[in-house]
Amino acid sequence: MLRQPLTLDAVRRRFAACFSTAGAEPVVAFAPGRVNLIGDHIDYCGGRVLPMPIQYGTWVAAAANGTGEIRARSDNAETTIHLTEDRQTPFPAGHWGRFVAGADAVLGNHGAPCRGMNLLIAGDIPASGLSSSASLSVALLLAMGALSGSRLQGLNLALAAQQIEHRHVGVACGLMDQAAVVLGQPDAALRFDCATQEGQAIALGHEQCAIIVADSGVARSLAASAYNTRLDELARIGSALDLAPATLARTLQTPPELDDPVLTRRARHIATEQSRVDAACAALQRGDWCDFGRMLHASHASLRDDYAVSCAEVDLLVEIFARQPGCYGARMTGAGFGGAVVAAVSSDQADTCARAAAEAYAGPGGRTLQTFVARSRGGARLHD
């Protein structure tokens, strides 16, 4: 199992060590990561999804520094950047400084321009596929916004975080991740309609079922390129059906048959995954963990076979969990091509299941499987 999450006191101590001459006590924001229980690759099609926040996330401590410059230290990258007063400092694609510059620009566009400040960024999200980018974006907006007089909250905060990724990081993501990070409630998943932007808390009976997240250890090296390929395929599906790609998930009630077999499989995933999300929500509301697990298994098969975003290691890990006593269901979660698996397991067998899965996954290659039981402690919050 993983280490305990970072604490507020630890972040404040680290900030004092990094900026010992700053003087001002920092405000501190925390934004959780999220695990998507079901509904992958339909958020950008206008679908309904079911993510939940997790106990791990991103912390940002911020204090005014009396200058016009933003100085940001990333504990994870072990580097410091400087945004000069004229804000002309460029960052290459993929650099974490783009998130800081993006938050600065988005806050300015919302009538809360930032003055000089020191920032410490510290995160403990333990695997890829758990939305570290949305977590970082939201935490930056909260902490920097607290010093600049921002009034962003709720859905507007989630939309502003999405703008950071769209305009400054270069990722045309849907709104699911940001919504889960901002709007999540304790001990609940979030049924979020990406078309209407409406959310509903779905209670999770943690005393009956544990949500285990397992890191396959495979970096998502193909996820970005495959994501762009799928967007192109969605455009072709939309053109063939005379539909806007952003409406496909709510429009396709039954899987269509298209001339191109690849597009037929992609469209089938979109249509059937939406049905599975609705069925999974209904199962949770009536406490039917077996039916919920069946939806997880079916979702993984669709992501593997129809949407083609899984990989051999993740498929193996899903199969391993499926064989364990007490496991209701398992699936890949996130963009795919590596990253994490999520499994619904009877609470009284969660520890045994996780240990058995780790032993089986290690195999002859000696792979290490990191797991944790995910708990929602609610959405992003500010400590001052």
Q: Which of 40, 43, 104, 177 is catalytic?
A: 177
Return the closest-CA partner of residue 192 out of 80, 50, 331. Answer: 50
Q: What are the distances in angstroms from CA 338 to CA 158, 161, 316, 335, 380? A: 26, 25, 11, 8, 26
Place of tokens 């002309």: 88
Return the closest-CA partner of residue 212 out of 371, 331, 53. Answer: 371
Q: What are the distances in angstroms from CA 294 to CA 145, 223, 343? A: 43, 26, 11
Q: Are 111 and 66 in contact (CB under 8 A)?
A: no
Amino acid symbol at 51: P
Burial readout 132-149 (b: 16 or more C-beta within 10 A, e: otherwise):
bbbbbbbbbbbbbbbbbe
Contacts of 20 by beta carbon, 8 Å cutoff, 6+ apart: none
Q: What number of residues does the chain have?
A: 384
Residue 365: Cβ-neighbour burial (10 angstroms; 0-12, 13-18, 19+): exposed
Contacts of 219 by beta carbon, 8 Å cutoff, 6+ apart: 128, 338
Question: For the chain, first and last CA: distance in Å?
Answer: 31
Give the tokens for residue 145: 């916004």
Q: Are 336 and 306 in contact (CB under 8 A)?
A: no
Local structure of 289: helix, strand or coil: helix
- Pairing state of beta strands 117-123 and 70-74? parallel
Has 177 been annotated as catalytic?
yes
Q: What is the C-alpha to C-alpha distance for residues 215 and 3, in angstroms, rounded to an integer?
A: 14
Return the active site residues.
177
